[in-house]
Structure 1
């Protein structure tokens, strides 16, 4: 059995996320449909992670298996010709049969974009937040998220995952061009975790004792204590490392 690994980009604006759902338009389903047209078979497409509705990807990784020997260059060209404009296959390669894009991933990195002035060019891909942002304070507060911790307070209450521990290895806020960029890397992410972290940090900025607030959020292990999740449109799955 041949196993093929793809790196994908997509604009998640009009999709209900990565994962196939009934009566919903999803990234996974669009790609499976396109592959079926080319290979004349329905494949099991495995993604490295499930991005939520409205979330984008710069480097999503997925794999599928097929008995067929594929001409990689021709297949990529054909797939991109069939897929809608908001989904793109950046690369495809043949990998070992045991490779699993989700379970073999060692580190995932997300970025979140914030714009501080009204812009027609950033409105679909960033959170417009005109309030004052102190990057130095945010970077200091963000250190509280580093390491292996219980992120129960930062995931959606309906999360099906029992294990809420994640290990955050890198986290930072920077000013790049006209945008404020939040970047975070971890071994895994829970449902809605990045957006909840960003919302909590922005909320903490307005408090007299922001560090104590964040520590209390962690101790509570309750989503109600954390800040409101920021909009999905500013979130991008940046890369997945193996």
Structure 2
């Protein structure tokens, strides 16, 4: 059995997320459909993680197995010809048969974009937030998220996972040109976690004791204690490391 790994980029604006969900339009569903057209067979496409509705990806990783020997250059060209314009396979290579995009991933990195002035070119890919942002203060506060912690307060209540511990290895803020970039890396992420963290950090800037506020959010282990989640359109799955 041959196992193929792909790196995929997509604009999630028109999709209900990565994972196949019945009749809804999803990224995974579109790619599986395209592969069937090219290979003339159904495959089990395994993604490194589930991105939510409206979330984009610069480096989603997925793999599938087939008995067929694939001409990688020809297959990628054919697949991209069939896929919608807002989904693209940017690379494909053969990997070991036991490689699993989700379970073998060691670290995932997301970025979140914030724009501080109204722009028609940023509206689908960033959160318009015209209020003052103290990046130095956010950088200091973000250190409170480093390490292995219980992220129950930062995931959607509907999350069905039993283990809500995640180990965050890096958090940073950067302003470049007209955009503010939030970047976070961890071994795993819960449903809605990044958007809740960004919302909580922005909310903390309005408070007299922001560190105490963030610590109390962690202690409560209740989603309502954290800040409101920022919009999905500013979130990108940046890369997955193995």
Unaligned runs of 5+ in 2: none
**2:174 alignment counterpart:** 174
How far apart are residue 99 of structure 1 and its match?
Answer: 0.1
How far apart are residue 160 of structure 1 and its match?
Answer: 0.8
**1:43 alignment counterpart:** 43
Q: Distance in 1 between matches of 2:151 and 2:207?
A: 21
Q: Distance in 2 between matches of 1:22 and 1:89?
A: 23
**2:108 alignment counterpart:** 108
**1:30 alignment counterpart:** 30
CA RMSD between the two structures: 0.3
The 3-state SS of whatever aligns with 1:168 is strand
The 3-state SS of whatever aligns with 2:65 is strand
**1:154 alignment counterpart:** 154
Q: Distance in 1 between matches of 2:20 and 2:159?
A: 17
**1:94 alignment counterpart:** 94
Unaligned runs of 5+ in 1: none
Alignment of 1:5-16 (within 5 A): 5-16=5-16
Q: Distance in 1 between matches of 2:54 and 2:222?
A: 25
**1:54 alignment counterpart:** 54
**2:236 alignment counterpart:** 236
Aligned residues: 242
Alignment of 1:193-212 (within 5 A): 193-212=193-212
**2:143 alignment counterpart:** 143
Q: Distance in 1 between matches of 2:123 and 2:190?
A: 26
How far apart are residue 23 of structure 1 and its match?
Answer: 1.9
**2:187 alignment counterpart:** 187
Instruction: Give every structure 1 segment of 4 or more consecutive aligned residues whose post-TM-superposition deviation is greater than 2 Å.
Output: none
Q: Distance in 2 between matches of 1:82 and 1:3?
A: 21
The 3-state SS of whatever aligns with 1:90 is strand
**1:68 alignment counterpart:** 68
How far apart are residue 164 of structure 1 and its match?
Answer: 0.2
Q: Distance in 1 between matches of 2:117 and 2:91?
A: 35
How far apart are residue 22 of structure 1 and its match?
Answer: 1.1
**1:17 alignment counterpart:** 17
Q: TM-score, normalised by structure 1?
A: 1.00
How far apart are residue 217 of structure 1 and its match?
Answer: 0.1
The 3-state SS of whatever aligns with 2:112 is strand
How far apart are residue 189 of structure 1 and its match?
Answer: 0.1
**1:226 alignment counterpart:** 226
Q: Distance in 2 between matches of 1:215 and 1:138?
A: 15
